[in-house]
Amino acid sequence: MLNPYNNPNIEEFEIKENLMSVIKKRFSTYGYQQIRTPAFESYDMYSNITGTVSKGEMIKVIDPSGDVLVLRPDVTIPLTKMISKSLLREQRLFYIQDVYRQNSQREITESTQAGVECFGENSPFIDAEVIILAIHTLRDLGLKNFKIEVGHAGFFKEIIEQIQVTGQQLEQIKALIQSKNVIEMEPYLSSLTISTEAKEAIRQIPVMYGDPETVIQQAKELTLNENMENILQRLMEINELIKDYNASDYILFNLGLINHMNYYSGVIFQGFVGNVGMPVLMGGRYDHLGEQFSNSVPAIGFAFDVDLLLQARKQQGLNISVDSAADICIFYDQNRQKEALSMSYELRNYGYKVITNITGLPAKKHVYFSGDRSPYLGGNEKQPFTTMEELLQLLKQNEGEQN
């Protein structure tokens, strides 16, 4: 008989479900409530919002009425729309859902995101708490050697507002910063007609990475206006709060952090684990996204890439095989069926995983109802019992001996 517990797809599913259960539990301890968004949304809702998912990444379908829909490419946007139209503006929401996009080769990708969105307050305290929630969750998952890089969307934007460049030139500057390509940065900036101060600020951005105090001190020497000074002050306040949480060891500042989602307006951050080459989480503050739904609402959030978390855990030897074996298998003769099934029902009430009279499926313990004799717990020796209380005592004794 085929043993379904040997199916690797079932095992991978259970490992993923267990990981998501850990995430859900941690999110809830910070006051977040779970929510779901529809699998299909109006294409217009996404296409009319600037600085979000590109139209080319969306998977479009036509519904029976002829309207264009998209298969969920993002969760933040529909949640922001919901809150912006709600009378209850302060809400803490979390989700664990699949998102769908297509790449430049027109291949459809499906990934599971687990994220939080905190609506209604703009303060350094909330910024720090959301970052701490990300750290707390990564620790719950047993991951080691991870870092959260913290930056600010406004720092780079303030520099760009001081210069006159084309869209193509701006994209090239972003690419050089993101790749930390300081070698090609110098000649490229020399080819642009911008002020010496702005050139120096852009030149230094890729290397403003590392210890928060050091990065802030470097950045102070490059501020071009009061807004940039206020941004650095905000980052310092967030850093002090993270110190109060005793989580400084997990934090790096990165003022060259530029997220592809242009709706971010304040602190931005991303998390890396060990040798995983991509960020396992990305997030930030997006206070102005709601304005595109005619109602501004302060907000900050982040999303884990669950599949990358699984990869990270596997690399660190943490994706231990799920023990799918039943706790107890009850074998019985036909004339003892009523007793056996009644006991299986009671055992399940006590939380045991029970299967009955099925051969080929693994179980840790076996109970037998045979002939006219008393039922017994099998093993190295037969251990008879007459009541449920006696069986429970035997099971506890056996568990104690194994531990």
Strand partners, 252: 149
Distance of CA 258 to the CA centre of its chain: 19
- Judged by DSSP in three states, 39 sits in coil
Q: Tell whether residue 101 is among the known ligand binding residues.
A: yes
Q: Inter-axis angle of helices 337-349 and 388-402, to 10 degrees? A: 60
Q: Tell whether residue 75 is among the known ligand binding residues.
A: yes
The two structure tokens encoding residue 373: 């004799």
Distance CA 288, CA 295 (A): 9
Q: Tell whether residue 76 is among the known ligand binding residues.
A: yes
Q: In the chain, what is the greatest distance between 2 CA atoms, to the nearest angstrom?
A: 98
Distance of CA 322 to the CA centre of its chain: 21
Q: Tell whether residue 373 is among the known ligand binding residues.
A: no
Q: How many CB atoms lie within 10 A of CB 266?
A: 22
Distance CA 153, CA 241 (A): 20
Residue 257 near residue 270, CB atoms below 8 Å: yes
Residue 154 near residue 265, CB atoms below 8 Å: yes
Q: Tell whether residue 264 is among the known ligand binding residues.
A: yes
Q: Tell whether residue 263 is among the known ligand binding residues.
A: yes
Q: Which residues contact 281 (CB under 8 A, 6 or more apart)?
A: 134, 270, 271, 302, 303, 304, 305
Q: Which residues are annotated as a binding site?
A: 74-76, 101, 113, 117, 263-264
Q: Which residues are annotated as a binding site for L-histidine?
A: 74-76, 101, 113, 117, 263-264
